[in-house]
Chains A and B, each alone.
Chain A
Amino acid sequence: MFFFLVRRVVSGVVLVFAVATITFLLMSLTGGNAARNILGETATEAQVAAKAAELGLDRPILERYLDWLGAALHGDFGTSWFSREPVIESLANRFPVSLSVVTVAVLVTAVLATVLGITAAVRRGWVDRFVQVFAVIGFALPNFWVALILVTIFAVTLHLLPATGYVPITTDPGRWALGLILPVTALVIGTIASTAQQVRGATIDILERDFVRTLRARGISRTSLLFRHVLRNAAGPALTVLSLQFVGLLGGAVIIEKVFALPGIGSLAVNATTQGDLPQILGLVVVMVVLVVVVNLVIDLLTGWLNPKARVS
């Protein structure tokens, strides 16, 4: 296990380095004129040149990259070229928002998808058909459309929930929770649908295995069979789907963040990319890759904990 962890951490570091390097090169070689974008349409060429020099854009790419890398290794990701806010600060402001939405969405997905998937697999019949129809519909509904419908009903018409904005959990846990209800609901309809299908499929597959028949023949209780044996074996594929969804939601929550005006990393990433804000983009990329590595590691450990057969010696 120790070597497994070390191997994963080392490969994670290599991944972060590789992605950051490629991002830096791509942005530097193909990006627009950041100095012009900062100064706007009325600045003179002399002003643009002065700004470019101020940002270090007149220096060779390799020199700039090494400077950035050296500072990043010391935890300094620089300052946004546009807002002039330290990148670390903007990430510290934005990530909790996206993580709140995505973490709650994944937890809700995990619980509801497991319940629906297992129920469908065990009961079969009309329950199974209902879950399958729900899965197809849930998967087909665009989350931004669901979001707009939810806002119109629960915020604009009934005034029950906020239409926009985010309150940090440290400021007011109640308003934090209220603010998350609509965005999370809009997100989880699709993810529950797909995860429930995975859980259902995996559970049916396990239920048809020989060892389950043997356990049943030995008179083991239905609950114990389901939770101690079937679910543990079926958890692997479901956890993999959940980890993929976590990563996908982080990147894909842009639309939901826009509809609900949530100041998360989605809008930050879109703005930074459109403007060519290199320090901001690099900071985002590094943190995202680290997050993906960590989530995958946690899922691997969880899978191993749930299913001894999946453990790495």
Chain B
Amino acid sequence: MRKRSAAAIALAAIVALTATGCSSSPESEAAPTGGTLTIGAALDAASWDPADAEFGNRLQYMQPVYDSLLHIDENLEITPWLASAFTYDDAKTALTLTLRDDVEFSDGEAFDADVAKANLEHFQSGTGQNSITLAAVESVEVTGDYEIVLHLSAPDPALLRNLALVAGMQASPAVLDDESLATTPVGSGPYVLDADQTTTGSQYVYTRNADYWNTDAFPFDEIVIKPLTDLTARLNALKSGEIDATLADAKSMAEAESSGLTAQTMLGDWQGLFIVDRAGEIVPALADARVRQAMQYAIDGAGLLQAVRLGQGEVTTQIFNPSSLAYDPDLDSAYSYDPDKARALLAEAGYADGFTITMPEFAGFTDITTVAYQQLRDIGIDVQTETVAPDQLISALLAGKYAAFPFSWGSSDAWQDILKLVKPDAPWNMLHSSTPELDALISAAQTSGEAADFQAVSAYLVDQAWFAPWYVQNNVYLTGPDVTVAMQPQNVVPYIWNYAPAA
């Protein structure tokens, strides 16, 4: 009784303090809300079917209308969302999700376990480019009105993150198997797409979902996304106040800052060589790790970063994102520009006179390949080039036509990158390279999910020079005076919940 009285007095004191002026301190000021957030997007929207959802730029079109099962913040922390709780079993092959019971789609349909199961199966069986992210899910079991269990064939360290993004997006069951979903989104998200104000290709207008369960998490009354594919147009729109935020590049940073805009950066894509012929099937010399290491020593990554990306980024030797579990800063000093050492390694491997390799030339990379190919030639590697048309590039690369090629990779979650780049069946391990040692390291990382095990994978890849990254470049994001934004690791643009009105 005495305790209750003390608590009541304390509460009364707090209320009184608040009422008499404590609320004027900055710490207790309520964050501003309302208004319109207008984003300039570098790509136009594509399909609205969650099964076709993409990471990267197009995620921003989907996030206002589709809630995901889990949530991910700017620190990569995974928290409950439509799933109010989530637990793994000890083997990490069964994930139990407890679902909210107060969620309704914008067409009035209710959200429950059957709907979540249908959405996950819709995503998994679809032909969208990210259906691979649910590849480990063997089945989805409904264990209650608001509970499902995902049974996995093996632990998937990236599953929670994927359920917080594209794989966990939930569409209304009424349209899930309807073709209209590709052109008309129906979700349970914080906003609804306003068809009257939206003009495809010009602007997409989202207004608040009146029945949303977590309105406080989204401060803007309205979101407008304008596809502005040209960087100059985006900059002009931002400088003239037509948009509040947009993606830019290193070359536009100085101009933007001199115009009073705020520029923020976040390490994103790495650029370098994919040396995929690790068994020497196309170019026998590449079977020797010393030859691959020589290719790493031969190219001046720091110089390229400075000259081509104006120093916006960091030199790296790793394929993993600096924010990921697998990234080990110590590995970045493993190689440096040293043509003499490169020649010595070639000689040691029996290729003192060099060897011939055919590599592609393609749009958007010629500024880099001009230098990189010349530096490979300088150590005696005879680089022959073939021009590849933009619409044929990915097919040509994935077909395993080239033993090595320069490329830009948007690294994200470490396990996701291993699935895409490293495992023997990974699409970007075109010639299916594998070694027992690496397989064991990957298996250990998959099972434990621990940083040390992932870093061991990275160390192996760096030592064996499976890739020859030169640098990881900064994503540059600009905002005007009315908006603040938290940069998002592992995505080229911030997530929609990272924006807030400026104080």
Contacts and interface: CB of A to CB of B under 8 A. Distances in A.
Interface of A: 31-33, 36-45, 47, 50-51, 54, 82-85, 89-90, 93-94, 97, 148, 151-152, 155-156, 159, 162-166, 168, 258-261, 263, 267-268, 271, 273-276
B127 A51 contact: yes
B480 to A, nearest CB: 12
Interface residues of B, number: 47
Given A82-B46, A164-B226, A276 B391 contact: yes
Given A32-B392, A164-B226, A263 B200 contact: yes
Contacts of A54: 127
Nearest to A275: B391
Interface stretch (B93-101, B229-237, B283-291, B322-330): B229-237
Contact of B132 (A42, A84, A166, A276): A42
B236 A40 contact: no
A164 B237 contact: yes
B202 interface: yes
Contacts of A47: 127, 131-132
B201 A41 contact: no
Given A259-B230, A274-B390, A163 B240 contact: yes
A162 B242 contact: yes
Contacts of B130: 42
B341 interface: no
A85 B49 CA distance: 12
Contacts of A40: 54, 129, 394
B395 A165 contact: no
B391 A32 contact: yes
B47 interface: yes
A273 B393 CA distance: 14
Contacts of B391: 31-32, 37, 273-276
B129 to A, nearest CB: 4
A42 B233 contact: no
24 contacts: A32-B393, A33-B395, A37-B391, A40-B129, A41-B129, A41-B427, A42-B130, A43-B132, A45-B427, A83-B45, A84-B182, A89-B200, A93-B199, A97-B202, A163-B236, A163-B239, A164-B226, A164-B237, A165-B203, A165-B242, A258-B230, A260-B233, A263-B227, A274-B390
Given A41-B398, A54-B127, A83 B46 contact: yes
A268 B201 contact: yes
B236 A151 contact: yes
B228 A164 contact: yes
B233 A261 contact: yes
A134 to B, nearest CB: 27
Given A44-B425, A165-B237, A261-B228, 20 more contacts: A32-B393, A32-B395, A37-B395, A38-B129, A41-B398, A43-B427, A44-B132, A83-B44, A83-B45, A83-B47, A152-B236, A162-B240, A165-B203, A165-B242, A166-B202, A258-B230, A259-B232, A268-B201, A271-B44, A274-B390
A90 B228 CA distance: 17
Nearest to B130: A42
B51 to A, nearest CB: 11
Contacts of B199: 93, 166, 168, 263
A80 to B, nearest CB: 9
B49 A84 contact: yes
Nearest to B231: A258
Nearest to B419: A42
Nearest to B201: A263
B114 to A, nearest CB: 26
Contacts of B428: 41-42
